[in-house]
Amino acid sequence: MRYIPNYKLNIITEEQFADSIYKIEAEINAVKQSGNFTAFDGINIYYEYFLTEQSRGNVVIVHGLSEFTNKFYELIYYILNQGYNVFIYDQRCHGKSDRLTPVKDLLHVDSFEDYVKDLTYFIDEIVLKTEDKPIYLYAHSMGGAIAALYLAKFKDKIQKAILSAPMFQPIVKNVPFLIARDSVKIGKVIFGSKRKFFISDEFDPDIKFNYVEGLSKARFEHNMKLRRENPNYQSTPMSFGWVSNSLMLSKRILRGRVVGKIETPILIISASADTMVNNKIQETFYKKCKNCRFEIIENATHAVLASDENIISQVLNLTFEFFA
């Protein structure tokens, strides 16, 4: 069964969201296909996909830290109604995918290259073998960094890529970035890569809405409801290994062998009020990239799609205009 798109972009308002999201979930779940694939190291990676009638192409969503497939159902709904198929998977240690440590909620990765290997397999063995159409990436935050690393390796597989608030460098508070990076690197050696990073917060089911999480209280509350009800969605604290790898990203991505090798057209959507990732590094990437466009969304926080309808509308209009 395939989804029948209406080719309209009707953004759900804050007031409509609480009721509308359940209708959306029911609508797209009716056409959802899901499964698992075995990654290079033997762990299972969960994925979902949604096919449309007379599809224009395949959009692959690469989610960010602590996120999961269900969080993107609103976006999936908008993309389907523009006539694209949608493919999404849970990153390792996220959602319904396998964990790498006995601690179920601990976010860990041995190397960001492992994320790239998962994306590579997903595109080659799931996406293209399901429907061989042009592929577009929509990658948010951590997913944006993974996408950049992927695009440097594969020049001709992706038609276009959107990097939404890409996490090329996390913002470090209270200490200079270089000191933080080197200190975490030493800590990883002393305490072990899979040990929980000391100042990494646990999942808090009672956390209150704040604007760092986005500008939409209704979307925040729905996401928290999903997380409270399903332990698979509660991955929050990070390991020394994950933090150390994340702090090395900017040095790695801004080198010529990454940004200099990317030929795929890229649109970076940057949030002006982002307190999670360093926007200046995004601008540096943009200036070094051969075929890149840079758009700043004023007043947007890191969670650009958990904002008010004005910001969501700006992001989606940029997205579909770029993909067209």
- Identify the CATH number of the domain in which residue 125 sits: 3.40.50.1820
User: To the nearest whole percent, how much of the chain has pLDDT over 70?
Assistant: 99
**Residue 204: burial class (beta carbons within 10 Å; 0-12, 13-18, 19+):** exposed
Total of domains in the chain? 1
Asked whether residue 1 is assigned to any structural domain, the reply reads no
- Does residue 6 fall inside a structural domain? no
pLDDT at residue 210 in the model? 80
Task: Name the nearest CA neighbour of 164 among 187, 140, 195.
Answer: 140
Q: Is residue 7 part of a domain?
A: no
On whether residue 8 sits in a domain, the answer given is: no
Token pair, residue 191, equals 């305490």
Query: Do the domain assignments include residue 5?
Result: no
Q: What are phi and psi of 86, to 5 degrees?
A: -130, 135
For the chain, give the mean pLDDT.
Answer: 96
The enclosing H or E element of 22 equals helix 14-29
122 Cβ partners below 8 Å, 6+ apart? 37, 45, 47, 60, 87, 89
| pLDDT (tens digit per residue) in 24-63 | 999 999 999 999 999 999 999 999 999 999 999 999 999 9
Q: How far is it, in rounded angstroms, from Cα 49 to Cα 89?
A: 9
Q: How confident is the model over 62-113, as pLDDT tens digits? A: 999 999 999 999 999 999 999 999 999 999 999 999 999 999 999 999 999 9
Sign of CA dihedral 144, 145, 148, 149: negative
Backbone angles phi, psi at 31, to 5 degrees: -115, 5
Neighbours of 121 (CB within 10 A): 17
In 123-239, which residue ranges form alpha helices assigned H by DSSP?
128-130, 142-153, 177-191, 217-229
How crowded is residue 248: how many other Cβ atoms within 10 Å of its Cβ? 16
Q: Residues 231-264: pLDDT tens digits?
A: 999 999 999 999 999 999 999 999 988 999 999 9
Do residues 203 and 227 make contact, with C-beta atoms less than 8 angstroms apart? yes
Sign of CA dihedral 231, 234, 237, 242: positive
Residue 275 is assigned to a structural domain of this protein: yes
Range with the poorest average pLDDT among 16-20, 54-58, 213-217 = 213-217
Is residue 2 assigned to a domain? no
How many CB atoms sit inside 10 A of residue 295's CB? 14
What is d(CA 86, CA 80) in angstroms, rounded to the nearest whole number?
7
pTM, entire model: 0.97
**Angle of helix 177-191 relative to helix 240-247, nearest 10 degrees?**
150
Question: What residues make up the domain containing 45?
Answer: 14-323
